Amino acid sequence: MAKIGFIGTGIMGAPMAGHLIAGGHTLFIHNRRNHPKELTDAGATVCASATAVAQAAEIIILMVPDTPDVDAVLFGEGGVAAGLSAGKIVVDMSSISPIETKVFAAKINALGCGYLDAPVSGGQVGAKAASLTIMVGGPEETFEKVRPLLELMGKNITLVGGNGDGQTTKVANQIIVALNIQAVAEALLFASKAGADPAKVRQALMGGFASSKILEVHGERMIKRTFAPGFRIELHQKDLNLALQGAKALGVSLPNTASTQQMMNVCAANGLQQMDHSALCQAVELMAAHAIAKG
């Protein structure tokens, strides 16, 4: 069994870390806020800093919100880098910039340590069920060392390529998810405004070519008005910003990504940024002065 460090025990990080403890590993944790009681009760050791986590652990996992957070956790005061010694491995499971990921990996490699970017998809539901999709970038040898840990947290685990490629895959994933949420929202709004029962429309569509995981899960949320965050709008905004920044750097156009980001901006402007990204439907509802269903 390995000594594992886990930094960022939030909505998704906490259950992910819990699966590692359940797998028999020794866990050292650090978080900006209070540490989940379920982890400390299960035997996780709370460390005063990210440096202390890196000193105690062989493999250090990060699950924090954004690129600047990863930068601070790795290289800021009391950061992971200060506690590393040769042979240790850093696994960033956050969703951040592919370009900056390559920079971070090079700095960690210069310390004689391995680095994987391994962002996830599946939200809080997938984190709790240990069914996350994990998209990995980095050397195959390092990946094989970490694979048993990833298998405790996810089901569909793919080594996509080198460092940065995992994050690129996650950005692509977030483009598809966002555009699908927008499509489902528009379809159900159209049906509801036309006088049809959106729940029955959704049921009918689930049996046809329009069927999707988004229609199944988020379509139900839109109808039942259950917008407690599994993945917050503000985090999806961040991911689409990464997509649009990357597109600009590559000289390509992502028009539908841009328009969906604008709809997320409408949600944020109306104080909905902390809600689940399925609440994106409220942007088109505001424009139509009509809700898909009553709360």
Q: Which two tokens stand for residue 169?
A: 């895959």
> Does residue 215 sit in helix, strand or coil?
helix
Handedness of CA 138, 61, 59, 101 (dihedral sign): positive
Q: Which two tokens stand for residue 172?
A: 């692509």
Strand partners, 45: 28
**Which residues are known catalytic residues?**
170
Closest CA to 164 of 71, 92, 253, 257: 92
Rounded (5°) CA angle 271-272-273? 100
User: CA 130, CA 132: separation in Å to the nearest integer?
Assistant: 6
The distance from CA 294 to its chain's CA centroid, rounded to whole angstroms, is 30
Handedness of CA 219, 265, 70, 11 (dihedral sign): negative
Cβ–Cβ under 8 Å, residues 292 and 189: yes
Cβ–Cβ under 8 Å, residues 167 and 117: yes
